[in-house]
Structure 1
Amino acid sequence: MSATPRSSPLGGKHVFVAAVFLLLALWPLVSGAYGADLVAKLMIYAILAVALELLVGSTGLVCFGQAAFFGIGAYAAVLLAPADNAVPSLLVALPLSMLLAALYALAVGALSLRTKGVYFIMVTLAFAQMAYYVIHDTELGGGTDGIYLYVKPVLGLLDLGNAAHLYGFIWFSLLLVFAFLALLLRSPFGRALAGIRVNEQRMRATGFSVYPYKLAAFTISGAISGWAGFLFAIKDGFVSPELLSWHLSAGVLVMIILGGLGHLRGALIGAFAFSLLQELFKSEALLGEAAKHWHLGLGLVVIACVAFMPRGLVGIPHQWRLHAARKRDKHAPDSEEAQA
C-alpha cells in the first residue's frame, strides 16, 4: 500500500478547521443569548478535549483523571479571587490557575508514568478521585455546596463579566490552544511523542529518554485543562466538586474517541458532537418523557458510531472515498478485457 501523501498547507483539513473557527466567531451574530452561551460551553469542552488528545491520541497515554486538572483550574479561579470582592486581573488569575493545574499534573505524572497500560489508567483515576474528595469533603472548596464567583476578571477594556467579551475570549483561547498544539505536534518534540505512541521500546533503543517527553506532555495537557477549567468557572460563576468527577474524565475520553483519535480536529469535532448529542437527548421539548432516560439514547448512538465509524467522525471522508474506490473497482473491466 502506498504511503498517504502529506497534505498541503492549504489542504482540505486546514480549510475545514478555518471554516469551523470562522463559523464559531460569527455564531453570536445569528444566535440568541442561549445559543451563544451553549456554544461557549462547547468551546470550553473542546479545549479540554484537545488537551486530552495530546495524551491519548498523540502520545498513547490513556489518562482517566483529566477532570482533576480541569477542576483545579476552575476552583483556583474562584479561590484565588480577591477576598474583598475587588476586580481580579486576568493576567494574574489565568496564569495562576494554569500553574496550579500544571503542578498537580507534574506530581501525578511523575508517579503515574512509572506504570503502564491499565495500571497507568487506574493510577490517574486514583489521583483524580483524591482531588475530588479533598474538594468534596473539606471546607476548602465549599463541600458539596460549591462556591460562587461574584466578580469576573478584567484586562484593560476586556471585561469577562460581559457576555460578548467572554465569548470572544473563549473563542480566542480555543484558537490559541489549537494552534499551539498543532505547532507542537509538528515540532521535533511532537515527532518524539508520535514515536513513543507507535513503539516506545524502539524509541529507547534509538537513544531517547522517553520519560521526560511523556512527563512534559502530561504537564502541558494538565495546564491546558486548567485553562479550560478557569474559563468554565468564569462563564458559570460557580464551581462544584462535580467538575472533578470521573464522569467528566470519561465523557472527555468518549469525545476524542467519537471524533477520531490521532487528530486535533477530531477532538474538536468530537467535543461538539458529543455535547450536542447530550443536549439533544436531554431536551424534553423534543423527546418528552424519554428525555429522562437520555443516557440510554446517548449510549446507543455512541456505540453505533464506534461500530460503524472505527476512525471516528473525522474518518468519514476517508470511508466515503474508500467506498467509492471499491465501487469503481467492482464495475471496472479486468485488464484482459480492457486490452481486448
Structure 2
Amino acid sequence: VQRLAADGRVIGMVGPLYESLAKSELPVANAAPLAMVSPAVTDECLTREPADGHCGGLKARLRPGGGNTFFRVVTTQLDEGAAGADLAFRTLGKRQAFVLNDQSPFGQAVARAFADRFARDGGTVVDPSDLGAFDPGQPPAFGIRVDRARASGADVIYFAGSAILAAASLRREMVARMPQVPLIGTDRLANSQFAKSAGASARGCYYTVVGPYPPRIHEAASVGRAYRQTYGVDIASASLAAFDATNLLIAAVRRAIDDAGGKLPSRLDVLREVAKTKNYAGAMGVMSFDSDGDTSLKLVTAYQWLAATEPRGQIVAQLTVN
C-alpha cells in the first residue's frame, strides 16, 4: 500500500482482505488519501467505536488524516449475533434462548447483539443476568449450565465466543441432557476442529458467517453463470463480494472522470464519489455506504453441521440483518 500511495496514478484500491492487513494499511491509505473498498474484513473496530469501549479507540488511530477513506461491502462480525437470533426465532421457530459467552470483548458484544435481537423478534432470553459468562481459562464443564438451561425451558442455546473446544464440550453436554435442543454459534464454529471434537454431537449445531451465499441470491445468477463458464467452478462468497467491491469502485471512478470533464480525477474526487455511494445495484443486492464506510446490505449466511466427518456445514439460510 505504501508503494500504491506513492504512485500518483493510483486513485483507488480494492482491499484489504484480512483484518491484520487492514490495521497496518488503513493509516497509510488514509494519509494519502486513497479510497479503499474491502470485500472481506468484518472487524467492527475498523469503523465503529461501540459504547462498551471494547475497540479502545482503534477507529480514530487508523485515521491520522481525520477523515474516512475505508469502505466495505460486507457487514461486521457483530451482526452475526443478530443473524443468529433471526436464525433461531424466524428460521428454526425457537422462543426460549439460553446464552453463554466467554467474556472476551467479541463474546460479550455478540452475546448482547443476539439477546437484543432475539427479544426484538419476540423471543425470551432465559436467565439473562450475565448472559452466561464463563471463564475460558478453566477446564470446560457445562453440565450445570445445561441443566439450568433445561430447567428454564430453553429450546435453543447460543454460544458467543471463540473457544472451539469449549463449544464442543458444551455441545456434548447438551446432547446428553437435552438432545433435541440446537446450538447456534458464530463463524468460530465453522472450524472443522469444532465438529471433530464434538464428534457425533456436531449434528444439530448451526453457525453463521458474514457474507453472501451466491446460489441463494437472485441478483448473482448471471455473474455466477459467467464465472462458471470462465473458470469452470462455482463463484465463492469472497469472489462475489470482490466483484461488487471492484465494480462499485469503477463506478465511482467513472463518475469522478465525468465530473473532471474526461480528465484523470484526483484521489479526493474518487474518494468523494465512493463515499456518496447510494443504492448501488450490485450482484449481492442494493447497497449504500454510511458515514463510517459500512454497507447497508448486511448479509450473513447460516450453516448446519450434519456430520463431524464433513469439511464444512450445509447451507440453511441466507439472512439479511436490518
Instruction: Answer 1 or 2: higher relative contact order, Cα 8 Å, separation at least 6.
Output: 1
TM-score (norm 2): 0.25
Write 1 or 2 for the structure with the bigger share of helix.
1
